[in-house]
A = this chain, B = another copy of it.
Amino acid sequence: MKSTAESGEGPDGFNLEEFLPYRLSIASNRVSRLFAKQYSEQFGLTIPEWRVLAVVGRFGTLSPTSVGQYTAMDKVKVSRAAATLVARGLLKQSPDPKDGRGRLLRLTRKGSTTHNGVVPLAREIEATLAAGLTRAEWTALNKALIKLNEHVMAIEGPDPGEATD
């Protein structure tokens, strides 16, 4: 139905399939699904959870707010992801001695073990993706996304940078 006759321009010359924002949305979705599947199967983690784990693992000790900045998730999502990670014993949450409102997140020993598995898997999946493109295409994609991000951010106001998954 899609692959048969029609594939050129319609009466108004508008073709959704060739529309970049649409392609971007689909690509992002497919990649997210791929990640979600892998992380769910191998570690029982959702994407917000592994992002928190990755960032805390990298920096050692972080406040939920900082985690939010590094992962581009809002504080609600961080809070909930952190809560389930704490419940599972992968993260420890303690009060911030410097600020009674704040909390500090760090890996437990168990969390550290998981983290050691999580990062390689991320790299592996990324490598799998990269394998579909030439090296030049891959770097071009990277650069274009960076520029696009900055540009859109400039347009809509820098405020609510956010990632859905």
A interface bracket (residues with beta carbon within 8 Å of B): 35 or more
**Chain A contact residues, majority secondary structure:** helix
Do the beta carbons of B163 and A29 come within 8 Å of each other? Answer: yes
A100 contacts partner chain B, Cβ-Cβ < 8 Å = no
Q: In the assembly, how many copies of this chain are there?
A: 2
Chain A residues within 8 Å of B, Cβ to Cβ? 1-2, 6, 10-12, 14-17, 19-35, 37, 51, 54-55, 57-60, 65-66, 69-72, 115, 119, 122-123, 125-126, 128-133, 137-138, 140-156, 160-165
- Identity of the chain B residue whose Cβ is nearest the Cβ of A12 in the assembled complex: B119
Do the beta carbons of B161 and A26 come within 8 Å of each other? Answer: yes
Contact of A16 among B10, B51, B138, B154 (CB under 8 A): B51
Of the A-B pairs whose beta carbons lie under 8 Å apart in the complex, a sample of 5, sorted by A's number, is: A20-B141, A21-B32, A33-B160, A133-B151, A140-B141
